[in-house]
Chain A
Amino acid sequence: MIAELGHFALILALAVACVQGVIPMLGAQLGRLSWMRFADQSAILQFVLVGVSFACLTHAYVTSDFSVVNVVQNSHSAKPMLYKVSGVWGNHEGSMLLWVLILAVFGCAVAMFGRYLPPALKARALAIQALIAVGFYLFILLTSNPFQRMFPPAADGQDLNPLLQDPGLAFHPPMLYLGYVGFSMAFSFAIAALIEGRVDAAWARWVRPWTLAAWCFLTGGIALGSWWAYYELGWGGFWFWDPVENASFMPWLIGTALLHSCVVVEKRDTMKAWTIFLAIVAFSFSLLGTFLVRSGVLTSVHAFATDPERGVFILVLLLIVIGGSFALYAWRAPQLKSTGLFQPISREGALLLNNLLMGTAAGVVLLGTLYPLFIDAISDGQDKISVGAPFFNAVFIPLMTPMVAAMAIGPLLAWKRGDLTRALKTLWIAFVVAFALAIATWSWQSGQSPWGIVGVAIGAWLATGTLIELSERIRLFRIPFSQSLRRLISLPRASWGMTLAHFGLALAVFGVTGAGAWKVESVQTMRPGETVTVSGYDFRFDGAQEKQGPNYLTTEARFTVSRDGDVVTQLFPEKRVYTVRQMPTTEAGIYTMLSGDLYAVVGDSKSDGSYVTRIYFNPLVAWMWIGALTMVMGGVLSLSDRRFRIGAPRRAAAPAGAQPAE
């Protein structure tokens, strides 16, 4: 009954979204406030209804209701409660429901906290958002219904994919979706602006917080995902240029570009069409990401053939959303008038450069992700090529290096017309620091890949450059220190946000460089009592024992790690076999230090009692996640800036008698 209620609530949400897509749009066209406000009412309602629906599905999972097909396919009675709950979105149908839930959350947030938005803009944006929701509701209800029932109920479920039974992955998809779906808000505002034929200062100011929120979630989601891959896949790496990862990285690149171009629109009344374009592209990538990951299209084009109904629906939906919005863009974008002019060397110029490099990077990733699929499809599965890390590293690093270099300079340039020489002069310390570290790295690593040196140099350049920019703002050492401190405290949160985000990226660059260029790997078979030395750490294998988990059997090994005779830590890597699906997973044993991670994986046992073990030393890898966290903190701080809280203009309605009633 509760499961049926969830189904019914979802259908109600679809119907509400349909009217939300029409009435507010007409209201905005006619200048009729009552119809515009209908968008608020229905957006809140949608949230309530999808919320009820999601709660009902969760209830079915928590109580192990095996009359719901989705629960049978993705849950098991012996599964720990956390994974019963996370199993709700750990599958195609449930994740789509989560998607529309988050869409409804954003819609509801705009309805409730969007008092400062011009009503017509808000009504149109919510109407567009409702139309997106209609597409998704139909997709769920017609092709991927999580509330499908079966009778008689199954005796037990088929369990969730064990790889997904992990705390990191329990929270990774919701974060990622908050990011993806957040860009739907920027998209809806962009389409609304195209319909209106105007992008004004109010537009740019109010689109930015939504984009920023989405960006924070997406950054967090990607970081969580790579962290999960790092400790769960057991290969010591954290980023594999896997299509699924790329699918989340592309919207991030474009979203970052959008975030920066919004600033230009608001401050300088220019780059409007470009910003709209980025908003459309960011959301298109989000859609692509959502569908590609879940539909299996990425792993094989032939997935379409096995499930043509879903595949065709997805293609049509993508075609309507992306094709339709670009058609609208081609028609209306020329009407968007910009007034602000700027020189190439200026803050605007630097932001534009950022946009171009980010956009190119996203294009490269898209090419590398889709090209193998096209080859596979064109040759009908005869030719398979794989585009992996070498391609991406060869293209991506040369693109990102100048971008990171420019990131330190951009904030020092003035709007309209900047002085590059002066900015570079200000950055002399950064030059020195970067150069010194590069030399030190070169002399230390002697003859390994040059990327390690480049990475350290640009990381140091960006970190120092960001700090220099901050000290310029507070006029450090040029005025008394106490005054500098006061300035530091009174800095607008938005500029704190920028500083933190840029500095976070510098930290992440160090992490990526360290783990990418100097990772030490050692694979061997070990008997209990044997010791392997990796990067100066002695890993003694103490043996392994079988244990029984709640729904898996595990082989837990123990390593005692010591350095120069002093015990540093003990690592307990596991190799688990989940009984229901008979699937093995690895759990790496990791000890994190600022200088690097000690990382041990236990593999199969041999008949003579020895085990295959893989030991890694991953230098600086923790810096990457610390950097990502810093970036998210910067985003959150910027989001709390008071500029996003200015009130709406007020004009009282004329007395009731003055205007003729209808």
Chain B
Amino acid sequence: MFWALAGVLIVVVIAVLVVPQFVGARNVARRAEYDINVFKDQLAELDRDQAEGRIAGAEADAARLEIQRRLLNAADAAEKEKSPDGTPRKGLAAVFVAAIAVPVVSVVFYLQTGTPGMPDFPLAERTDIRKAPDAAGFEGRSLRELADRLQERLRENPNDEKGWTLLGRTYANIGESRLAAAAYQRAVELTNRDPELLADWAEARLMARDGSFTPEIFADFLEARDKNPLLPKPWFYVGLDKAMGGDLEGAAQIWTDLLTIQPEGAPFVAAIRDQIARAAKEGGFDASKIEPSDTAKRLAEGMASAQPNGAPALDRESASSAAPGPTREQVEAAQEMTAEERNAFIRSMVARLAEKLEENPNDPAGWQRLVRAYEVLGETEKAAEARKRLKSLQGN
């Protein structure tokens, strides 16, 4: 396709350079005749000026004399000059050479400096990145409006840590990492550096920097992991930092630890396995030989024994499903829906969550999510009800 269009350009170039050369010149006026024209026009202008009284008689006469003298000189010169040669096709060979050389040289130059065959990557058609907020269609936009409204509310009530958390999640969901980071930062301050929020904050900053680590971001992930070693996010990113630093084996080790800590059924297990396999392939080592570290084993054991107590398990549940968000396929499907269908889809997701909680009500994090979901949908009554259930649960 590119070469077809380039070919069209080349044909146009050759045609425009060559074809008019076959037509002869109709006008072969001599150089001095152009001057004569100007002088005649000057005389006419002088006459007009004099007729309308813009120039006095004596001055006009002097000027006229001068122009007439120049006119005569020009006429003399015109007699002596030769007319230019207007024969068509004169020197056509040189024109042909030029017309052929232009595309040939251009193609050679282009092959040296260009990237032939490289397609365009317009943002709207790219699938490798999250859609930008303004291209995100209905969902992105409505979420943005909600987020903006929420931000307004938080300005009046800046100590609402839950609000800031929700704002951060919402911004993160629509790809506004920078704004998400700002919101998380506030939430982190209010919760005295809650590890989960700390990890979210670090992640948002990382996204805002297009994935390049700073010492501060890395330190925050470490801090979050130290405070709550069962959170998967810090493990994952600490591993990613190792991988980006070139230590693929170290990364695989950390991710293997992550898998050890997490239960088999966690939603991201397959993705982590995939990551480990890729690291192994690139680094040329055998991933199956990597054993979980002692720390990880201890943690996994401790977790298993702690499970009956409830709290860590819930923690894990909320961590593994932190900002769960719909999958890419679901989002894309949602974008193809009509507004009503989309609303119904979002509501059905919320309804499914509510159902699950009815079956298994002992899940504060789940209730927390439901509260947020109702708030996002603007269903304040249901949100209040869900919050009551959450409170009663926490009261136990």
List the interface of chain A (C-beta within 8 A of B).
Answer: 1-5, 7-9, 11-12, 14-16, 18-19, 23, 27, 30-38, 40-42, 44-45, 48-49, 52, 60, 63-67, 77-78, 116-121, 141, 145, 147, 149, 151-156, 200-202, 205, 266-267, 269, 339-340, 414-416, 473, 475, 487, 490, 492, 546, 548, 550, 579-580, 643, 646-654, 656, 659, 661-662
Chain B residue numbers with a CB within 8 Å of A652 are 26-28
The answer to whether A31 touches B29, judged by C-beta atoms less than 8 angstroms apart, is: no
A546 and B155 form a contact (CB under 8 A): yes
Closest CB of chain B to A48's CB: distance in Å?
7
Which 10 A-B pairs have CB atoms at the shortest separation, nearest pair first? A63-B122, A77-B132, A64-B123, A649-B33, A19-B98, A15-B102, A202-B34, A67-B121, A649-B29, A651-B29
CB-CB under 8 A for A34 and B5, given A155-B210, A651-B83:
no
Give B17-54 as 1s and 0s: 1 = Cβ < 8 Å from A's Cβ atoms: 10011001111111111111111011001000000111
Query: Is B310 at the interface (CB under 8 A from chain A)?
Result: no
**Inter-chain contact A648/B148, CB cutoff 8 Å:** no
Does B153 lie at the interface of the complex (its beta carbon under 8 Å from any beta carbon of A)?
A: no
* Complex: chain A residue closest to B148, CB-CB: A548
Count A-B pairs with CB separation below 8 Å.
248
Among B88-96, B195-203, B230-238, B279-287, the stretch that binds chain A is B88-96
Residues of A within 8 A of B70 (CB): 201, 269, 339
| Residues of the B chain whose Cβ atoms lie less than 8 Å from the Cβ of A44 | 16
A65 near B123 with CB under 8 A, answer yes
Q: Mark B102-114, 1 if CB is under 8 A from A, else 0.
A: 1101100110011
B118 CB-CB contact with A under 8 Å: yes
Stretch at the interface among B58-66, B259-267, B318-326, B361-369: B58-66
B216 near A: Cβ within 8 Å? Answer: no
A64 and B122 contacting across the interface, CB-CB below 8 Å: yes
B119 within 8 A of A: yes
CB neighbours (8 Å) of B148 from chain A are: 548
Nearest B residue to A200 by beta-carbon distance?
A: B35
Query: At the interface, yes or no: B157 with Cβ under 8 Å from chain A?
Result: no
6 A-B contacts, Cβ less than 8 Å apart? A15-B105, A16-B13, A34-B87, A67-B121, A121-B31, A546-B155
Per the bound structure, the CA–CA distance linking A117 and B115 in Å amounts to 43
Contact of A65 among B41, B120, B178 (CB under 8 A): B120
What is B's interface to A at a CB cutoff of 8 Å?
1-2, 5-6, 9-10, 12-13, 16-17, 20-21, 24-39, 41-42, 45, 52-54, 59, 62-63, 66, 70, 74, 82-92, 94-95, 98, 101-103, 105-106, 109-110, 113-124, 126, 128-129, 132-135, 148, 151, 155, 178-179, 210
In the complex, A34→B155 CA distance in Å? 75
Minimum distance in angstroms from B178 CB to a CB of chain A:
5
A152 to B127, alpha carbons, bound, how many Å?
Answer: 13
**B residues less than 8 Å from A35 (CB atoms):** 90-91, 94-95
Interface centre among A141, A145, A202, A487 (most CB of B within 10 A): A202
Given A16-B17, A33-B25, A652-B28, 20 more pairs with CB closer than 8 A: A1-B120, A8-B114, A11-B106, A30-B85, A32-B84, A33-B28, A34-B25, A41-B17, A48-B12, A49-B9, A66-B123, A78-B132, A141-B109, A201-B38, A201-B70, A487-B54, A649-B33, A651-B28, A656-B24, A661-B87
- B118, A151: Cβ atoms closer than 8 Å: yes
A442 CA to B222 CA, complexed, in Å: 73
How distant is A364 from chain B, measured CB to nearest CB, in Å?
A: 36
Contact B122 A415 (CB under 8 A): no
Cβ-closest chain A residue relative to B28:
A653
A546 to B38, CA, bound (A): 65
- Using A31-B82, A155-B210 as known contacts, say yes or no to A646 and B37 having CB atoms under 8 A apart: yes
Report yes or no: B101 in contact with A9, Cβ–Cβ below 8 A. Answer: no
The distance in angstroms between the C-alpha atoms of A200 and B95, with both chains bound, is: 31
Closest chain B CB from A134 CB (angstroms): 12
Q: Flag if A155 contacts B129 (CB, 8 Å).
A: yes
Contact A201–B84 (Cβ < 8 Å)? no
The reply to whether B31 and A118 form a contact with Cβ atoms under 8 Å apart is yes
Q: Smallest Cβ distance from B117 to chain A, in angstroms?
A: 8
User: What residue of chain B has the Cβ atom nearest to residue A35's Cβ?
Assistant: B91
Q: A32-B85, A652-B27 are in contact. Are A647 and B120 (CB under 8 A)?
A: no
Chain B neighbourhood of A149, CB < 8 A: 115, 118
